[in-house]
Amino acid sequence: MLWQALTLQLGYNATLVAIGATLLGISAGVTGTFLFLRKRALVSDAISHATLPGVCLAFMALVAFGGDGRNLIGLLAGSALSAWVGLLCMNWLTRHTRLAEDAAIGAVLSVFFGFGVVLLTVIQSMGVGRQAGLEGFLLGSTAGMLWADALVIAVGGAATLALVMIIRRPMMMVAFDPEYAVARGLPMHRIDLMMMGLVMAVTVVGLKIVGLILIVALLIIPPVTARFWTDRSDRVVVLAGLVGGLAGYLGAALSASAPNLPTGPIIVLVSFGFFALSWLLAPVRGVLAAVLRHLRFQRRVHIRQGLLALAQGQKIYEPLTIRLLCRAGVVRADGVATEAGKACAAKALRDEKRWEIVRADQAHEATAALYDGLRDIETVLTRDQIAEIDRRIGGPQEVTS
Amino acid sequence: MSGEEFVPLSLTPLLIGTFAAIACALPGNFLVLRKQALIGDAISHVVLPGIVVAFLLTGAISTWPMMLGAAGAAVVAVVMIEAIRRLGQIEPGAAMGVVFTTMFAGGVLLLEQTDTSTVHLDVEHALYGNLESLIWLDATGWSSVLDVQALAGLPPELPRIALTLAGVILFTWLFWRPLKISTFDEGFARTIGIRTGVLGMALVITAAIAAVAAFDAVGSIIVIAMFICPPAAARMMTNRLESQIAWSVLFATVSAMSGYVLAGYGPLWLGGADAVSAAGMIATVSGLLLALAAVFGPCRTRAGAPGGA
């Protein structure tokens, strides 16, 4: 069943939904990347909630003019309009009042959504019937998707992608260094507004498939996931598109393969699965990599301290140190140094003394900054320099009591 | 309207709505000042999976398991956000976005997977609440307020939200000085020995408790709106924290009362037949108040108040 779903053999509707979800995932991932890099990821939350009153008003207007209240293009146009109004409100609140952006986001999302709910109840009491489709915009409803709906989503998604490609450079510049962008003469506020406009377009396009509450996830999770794997912004954009598209495709297929699996939530959960994997396994920024890095560091510190203790004839009590030294062949199991171990320990102590000289000498200031107690001195100084330091240390001296 | 009609039908929803609004607005003041306003948004989203899991475990709609489930979900969410933010080095907004959308999606999925047709548990209910249905059938008029037998028939949400409000007020009153100092100058707070980390966590937990209790009665829209709109509007009115809190309580009360009345009677005045959603109307009114404050408030700009700052 799942295999059939993955190869698009579950019928017309499932195929439409899968293609639509993939396109939506790609454009949401790509657009969301700029928002994420601009550190304004939650703005999408306000935008998506602000679509609700527009959907309701459009429905009422369509019915009032005698049309079919469920015309998707009409509803999407209405939602875009109210999302734009919400966006302007939010921008105005942050720029012209003392409110911080997060308060403005929260205010816009709750008030617009609340007003939308009021309108929803008004529509219910209008008694026109056929309003059942509107609740579907909250969480998405793919069951009754038509060819025309899929076409709207595909065209909208493609147009958004094309626009992103055209203005990606100024958006990236604003995301990384707004002040530099302004100094270069870029209209920062207008570019920000354009970025939000693109996010709004994705939101509106995604209303039908994942609904307005969960579209936020498609805008945020893929970029965050992609960010784990690379430090180059263009690759983050491409990877986020890939993750989003894959999540959309897999999610749609999964939800078609069994009953009671709503498309929107499944897509979100699949992309969270990608996120969780990346969070754990990503090479540099992942948790596993960080744990390994920490363990390696711990091992080096223990071995170093153990060697210094051996060289000064102190007994080692720390079991981890003994185990590590034992494994390195430096000591025997009872904590007594081997021949090789004695040599290593002597070298460690001598290096420590060399470092002491280096750190006391103004001429070696740059080198001294590299001292962390672990670095081998041969890796930062030439043989001549070390010989010079050894001369300053001098030979063995008599111990005076 | 006579007491015979008002007390059973409107008194309890009005009180519950007002208490919920104030209970959310009080911690909301500090959250807005600390730039953590969206915590309320996140909490109200993650409450859904908590409630569904509690329902699955107990098999019934009963209050305490649901409250515990919701609180547990809030704690899980906070831990996950911190884990993603710290271990993954992701900025807090995005970490929050990842967590609450995922948990909400999980909640919706669980809800679809289980048979909840026999009980009153669905996404719409979680969003809008059912303020209008919290009526007090045993009341016959104002005299019932003193009648023990009638009081036993009060909707259980009322004492619960009243208790929560008392707890929130107590928390704010007890920790007033540390809260105020650490909100405005965290570094100074730490040097005089206030444990800011613990205090911040306590504030978030208080907010979560208020959110869960209010959510139970009035749905999540009011929760988000009341966390942010009244404190934000109050912020435009004054530069003093004491008066800001007073203003926010006033705004919360006014939005709850007038929102409820407008939702119940507004459509009738306009010639409509049915009432509209009270929760949505309360949020709308609070937004209008915020808009008024943002346009006319004496301290609306960053530069501060006239003569002050």
Identify the pLDDT of residue B146: 72
- Say yes or no: B281 contacts chain A, CB-CB below 8 A: yes
Q: Which range of residues forms the domain containing residue B169? A: 3-218
Residue B223 lies in a domain: no
**Tens of pLDDT, residues A77-131:** 999 999 999 999 999 998 888 898 899 999 999 999 999 988 888 887 776 555 5
Nearest residue, CB atoms, B105 vs list A124, A217, A223: A217
Identify the pLDDT of residue B2: 60
The conformation of residue A97, written as its DSSP 8-state character, comes to: S
Range scoring the smallest mean pLDDT among A280-294, A366-380, B88-102: A366-380
- Domain map of chain A by residue range? 2-213, 288-393
Range scoring the smallest mean pLDDT among A118-127, A154-163, A314-323, B40-49: A118-127
- Say yes or no: B38 contacts chain A, CB-CB below 8 A: yes
Nearest residue, CB atoms, A41 vs list B93, B282, B294: B93
Residue B300 lies in a domain: no
Rg (CA), chain B: 20
Identify the pLDDT of residue A130: 55
Nearest in space to A195 (alpha carbons), one of A384, A391, A35: A35
Q: What is the DSSP string of A235-298?
A: HHHHHHHHHHHHHHHHHHHHHHHSTT--HHHHHHHHHHHHHHHHHHH-TTTSHHHHHHHHHHHH
The span from the CA of A94 to the CA of A39, in Å, is 15
Distances (CA, A) of B230 to A12, B215, B285, B303: 50, 17, 10, 21
Range scoring the smallest mean pLDDT among A264-268, A331-335, B76-80: A331-335
- Say yes or no: B308 contacts chain A, CB-CB below 8 A: no
Identify the pLDDT of residue B307: 44
Identify the pLDDT of residue B309: 37
The span from the CA of B95 to the CA of A28, in Å, is 17
- Say yes or no: B276 contacts chain A, CB-CB below 8 A: yes
Across residues B159-187, what is the average pLDDT?
92
- State how far residue A169 is from chain B, nearest Cα, in angstroms: 22
Asked whether the predicted pLDDT for residue A132 surpasses 70, the reply is no
A211: left (phi over 0), alpha (psi -120 to 50) or beta: left
Residue B164 lies in a domain: yes
Nearest residue, CB atoms, A138 vs list B123, B224, B283: B123
**How many domains does chain B divide into?**
1
Q: Which of residues 125-144 of B touch A (CB under 8 A)?
A: 127-128
pLDDT, greater one: B135 or A328: A328
Nearest in space to A343 (alpha carbons), one of A310, A379, A297, A387: A310
Identify the pLDDT of residue A198: 92
Identify the pLDDT of residue A385: 86
Residue B293 lies in a domain: no
Across residues A194-205, what is the average pLDDT?
90
Range scoring the smallest mean pLDDT among B81-85, B103-107, B148-152: B148-152
Task: Collapse the DSSP code of A337 into the 3-class scheme (helix H, G, I; strand E, B; otherwise coil) and give the result.
Answer: strand
- Say yes or no: B97 contacts chain A, CB-CB below 8 A: yes
Asked whether the predicted pLDDT for residue B102 surpasses 70, the reply is yes
Answer whether B276 sits within 8 Å of A125, measured CB to CB. Answer: yes
Could you give the percent of chain A with pLDDT greater than 70?
Answer: 96
Matching residue, tokens 């025997």 = A332
Residue B177 lies in a domain: yes
Answer whether B113 sits within 8 Å of A269, measured CB to CB. Answer: no
**Is the CATH number of domain A2-213 3.40.50.10860?**
no
Answer whether B108 sits within 8 Å of A265, measured CB to CB. Answer: yes
CATH number of the domain encompassing residue B67: 1.10.3470.10
Output the CA torsion A172→A174→A175→A180 (10° steps).
110
Q: How confident is the model at residue B98 (pLDDT cuts 50, 70, 90)?
A: very high
Identify the pLDDT of residue A375: 82
**Tens of pLDDT, residues A20-55:** 889 999 999 999 999 999 988 889 999 999 999 999
**Tens of pLDDT, residues A330-376:** 888 777 888 888 888 888 888 888 888 888 888 888 888 888 878 88
Identify the pLDDT of residue B308: 40
The span from the CA of A188 to the CA of A193, in Å, is 9
Nearest residue, CB atoms, B97 vs list A42, A135, A227: A42
Residue ranges of alpha helices (H) inside A97-146 are 101-126, 132-139
Across residues B195-218, what is the average pLDDT?
84
8 Å CB contact between A136 and A7: no
The span from the CA of A153 to the CA of A363, in Å, is 67
